[in-house]
Structure 1
Amino acid sequence: MPSVKKNFIYNIAYQVLLLLLPLITAPYLSRVVGPSGLGTYSFTYSVSYYFVLFAMLGINNYGNRLIARLRSDKTKMSKSFWEVWTLQALLGLIAVFFYLLYSLNSSFGSIAFSWIFYVISSIFDINWFFFGLEEFKVTVGRNFLIKLFTFVLMFIVVRGEHAVFAYCMLISGSTLVSVLILWPFLRARIIWVRPTIRGVTTHIVPNLVLFVPVVAVSLYTVLDKVMLGHMSTLEQTGFFENSLKVSQMPFTLVTALGTVMLPRMSNLIASGREGEGRRYLGVSMWLALGLSLAFSFGIAGVAPVLAPVYFGPGYQACVPVLCVLVLNMPFMAWANVLRTQYLIPKGMDRAYVLSVVVGAAVNVAANVALIPRLGALGAAWGTTLAEVAVCVVQVVEVRGMLPQRRWLGENLPFVAVGAAMFVAVRWLGSLMGLRVATLAAQVLVGGMLFALLSWAWLAASGNRYWLDFVLPMLKGTVSRFRRKA
């Protein structure tokens, strides 16, 4: 069975790349295309995303779980793969046809059309198959190279009066290339089994069940930008896009953990080893909440310096938007662990669907009430309230099944540590002023302070995750380093 530790390292390496590249590109894009250009990119991408959403249904989660359960039987796994992919391909072709009609009649013209390659990618996206096999090295390796190549190209082609079109075309095209590259790796892993109409149709209903939460989640992660574009201005959409991008960068680490653990938990539950799965669940919750609290307090602390220094002149409006968006990070982390490592692997689709439908309803209602008056800030409050609602519903749905009170108590000290870091970096910002050196000092001092205070608490309290997980991993890393030296 693939190693969870290795898969997590592969995914973390890729997610760190995803975190670092936007850190470099965001200031460049903010200055080259401006708030309105960013708003145009954000709005047109969000529209194309809904066509991709239709093509994929709930296949990313459903296919991942299905392959994880059947991977010990190559024939059954192959049969299921071809059936699920046939359904995906048919829906993808329909999505491409209707997107072509939309883009050719859109007021955004060539910029809307540039996303056609992204929509076509929905036909060929089989990441879910390799995730189900827990072969993250395959997917991460090719994405790593493509992201680096796209990163270099961006500075070459995204410039001048057509910068927005060039950027959209680059992102759209690279997405298609990244999914096509996976197909040659299929040959050694599955055999050809002709899909039947009956076989394909058996996957429609379970996919639709998992499609409902995907659509609902999109209402408070993507629809915000569409609503901002219609109910406010493209400039406000640009402010929200930049703020959301920064607030979600660190969360990729938590997402990486969930991506790795979903197939492992599905396999453990299917093989009757739920007790082992619960041990993984406790460690995951501790890591996810610790990371989310560190980033939440950290970003809120540096926000007054980060927005004008990092994005450039004219982006001061991002400060309050950022501070509101990071409030949802701990709730997102808690819900992410429950969703990807318990609800979905255990087949508790009703609870998952209910939580995100409630979140979507809260978000849409908040957006309608707040966006006309507050613009990007209103969208930020809508997103935050939605994430809180999702988390609360999931917590209630699994009450009595998991030791959630214990998990909360184990992570409360991180709140005190984060608050101390927040005060320190805010004071440092007011002392040094709006400079690049200030931002660098805040990040360095804040990171060191959080790490030192956390270490002091963990060592003094004899925290079981520290003793059973972190220390052995650190000792193992040091030992390997010494052997190589």
Structure 2
Amino acid sequence: MKRTFLNILYNAVYQIFLVLVPLITVPYLSRILGPKTYGIYSNVNNIVQFLMIFCTLSVSYIGMRTISQLRASGKQKDLTAAFWGLWYFQAIAGVVTIVILITVINFFHVKYWNYLLLMIPYLISAQVDISWFFQGLAEFGRVVLKNTAVKLVSVVLILLWVKNPADLGKYMLIMSISTMLGSFVFWFDIHRYIGGPVKHFYRLQTTIKAIITLLIPQIATQVYTSLDKPILGLFQNSTQVAFYDNSQRISNMVLGIVTSISLVIMPKMASESKQEQRIVLKKSLEATVMLGTLFAVIIMANTKEFVPFFFGNKYIPMTSLMFFFSLTIIMIPMGGVFANQFALANHRDQDYALPVIVGAILEVILSYFLDRFYGATGAMIAILVTELIVLILRLWIVRDGYDFKYSFKEIPQYFLISVVVLIVGMLIPQIVTSNFLNMAIRSFIMACLYFILMFWMKLDFNQDIIILFKNFFRRS
């Protein structure tokens, strides 16, 4: 458990770092580029994000799970065969995807074709990304340190070279090349763990079946997490797309911190007994709901001041969008506990796939009717309804594998606490003239109240928090 805690800590620190980086770049870029130009970036970036899944073919999920199960044997021969045999799928898929994209751009009149070409390094980064190998080995420290260095360089370059809306191409090139370099750096260490390339794929038929089973839900997920912006762009102007995209930005940053628990726990769940899984699942669910509800209500209470302070006055119309998008910080990680930690870890790939396939179909239908009439607000409603349905399906479809009463015993109390804290947060007046200090004070008061209510209700997870702090200070 000590190693698991350290991995969660490593990944949480990295996700916090990923939150801090946009806190520097997003306010700068939203003002420099403006809503219209930023909307172009959102459209192009989300198309590329969709194409990236065809470069990876779900190998990140399959690879992490496979390596985590093989690491117990400690045989380099097995790790070597698995790594190279799985990465070959990724390498070939990346080449095919990039060639198809370039061909389509050359033969058809594709909107924003020049920007799409600048984002090709993103696709190369997906093709050579082997972070899944180190995550399977639970070597999260290496993943964190290397990516942190690359991100810092990209921030410096953005601040130096992006000065006006005409520099959109420079911004895209900086982001895509830095991401590509971040993927390449993992190859410098791979020789410490495995031998030279092998001449065959890894368990060809089994892996192809797993790829197909997991690729379908990945495509489906991208329909309502990446293609939702281009779909909105079909019916509305780029300004509406910018409002919609940026209203999710803070929630998505925080989601990275909360879902980091699932990323670390999944390899552990894959190698544990059923009884141990039962305990880990309950603790993970409680930690996820606690962090999700805490972050969500803090964002909700500060939205009115945060939008003009962070994005600029031009983005004030998206205030209500950001308020309601905060609900995804609760729904998505909760579903992730049962999808990533349970279904994937136990090779229940079809149970992992079905909810997101249903979600994708529902999202397309809702977007078609809501986006054209209600713009960004309609797109937000479509996403929230979709995420709620996906969450319910994730809980329902694997109900035979976990004890609902045991796992959800104290979850309602977390929701009650969050409602009380949100009401108090909304009632806290403007204490100081500085918007930043006022939001910081409000957030601190809400966080303190949240934990006071937790301990007042004597929740089971309180003991884990106490042990966590005792171990931390003992090591210090």
User: Which TM-score bucket, shorter chain as reference?
Assistant: over 0.9
Match of 2:249 in 1: 245
After superposition, the C-alpha distances for 1:25-82 in whole angstroms (9 at most, x for unaligned) are: 2111110001111111111111122221112111111111111112223212211211
Give, in whole Å, the separation in 2 of the partners of 1:111 and 1:432: 45
Contact 2:425 2:442 in 1 (8 A): yes
Structure 2 residue ranges without an equivalent (≥5): none
- Aligned pair partner of 1:74 in 76, 79, 99: 76
Moved more, 100-109 or 354-363: 100-109
The reply to whether residue 392 of structure 1 matches residue 392 of structure 2 is: yes
TM-score between both structures, scaled by the size of structure 2: 0.94
After superposition, the C-alpha distances for 1:283-330 in whole angstroms (9 at most, x for unaligned) are: 111110011111222222222222222211211221121122122322
Number of residues of Structure 1 aligned to a counterpart in Structure 2: 472
Match of 2:26 in 1: 26
Give, in whole Å, the separation in 2 of the partners of 1:432 and 1:30: 28
Match of 1:457 in 2: 453
1:100 alignment partner AA: I
SS of aligned partner of 1:346: coil
Give, in whole Å, the separation in 2 of the partners of 1:68 and 1:199: 16
Contact 1:432 1:438 in 2 (8 A): no
2:401 alignment partner AA: M
Question: What pairs up with 1:144-183 in 2 under 5 angstroms?
Answer: 144-183=148-187
Pairwise CA distance, 1:177: 0.1
SS of aligned partner of 1:192: coil
Match of 1:330 in 2: 330
Give, in whole Å, the separation in 2 of the partners of 1:46 and 1:460: 44
Moved more, 50-59 or 11-20: 50-59
Pairwise CA distance, 1:186: 0.8
* Aligned residues: CA RMSD: 2.0
Pairwise CA distance, 1:406: 4.3
The reply to whether residue 54 of structure 1 matches residue 16 of structure 2 is: no
Pairwise CA distance, 1:199: 4.9
Contact 1:424 1:446 in 2 (8 A): no
Pairwise CA distance, 1:439: 4.4
The reply to whether residue 448 of structure 1 matches residue 445 of structure 2 is: yes
Contact 2:282 2:408 in 1 (8 A): no
- Aligned pair partner of 1:97 in 96, 99, 112: 99
Q: CA 1:383–1:337 in 2, change beyond 3 Å: closer, same or farther?
A: same
TM-score between both structures, scaled by the size of structure 1: 0.92
Moved more, 218-227 or 297-306: 297-306
Contact 2:292 2:329 in 1 (8 A): yes
Pairwise CA distance, 1:202: 4.6
Give, in whole Å, the separation in 2 of the partners of 1:378 and 1:35: 19
Pairwise CA distance, 1:103: 4.1
1:174 alignment partner AA: S
Pairwise CA distance, 1:400: 4.4
Pairwise CA distance, 1:200: 4.3
Give, in whole Å, the separation in 2 of the partners of 1:472 and 1:360: 41
The reply to whether residue 477 of structure 1 matches residue 465 of structure 2 is: no
1:58 alignment partner AA: S
SS of aligned partner of 2:410: helix
Give, in whole Å, the separation in 2 of the partners of 1:198 and 1:392: 35
Pairwise CA distance, 1:351: 1.2
Give, in whole Å, the separation in 1 of the partners of 2:206 and 2:396: 32
1:139 alignment partner AA: V
Structure 1 residue ranges without an equivalent (≥5): none
SS of aligned partner of 1:106: coil
Identity among equivalent positions (%) equals 25
Q: CA 1:324–1:198 in 2, change beyond 3 Å: closer, same or farther?
A: closer
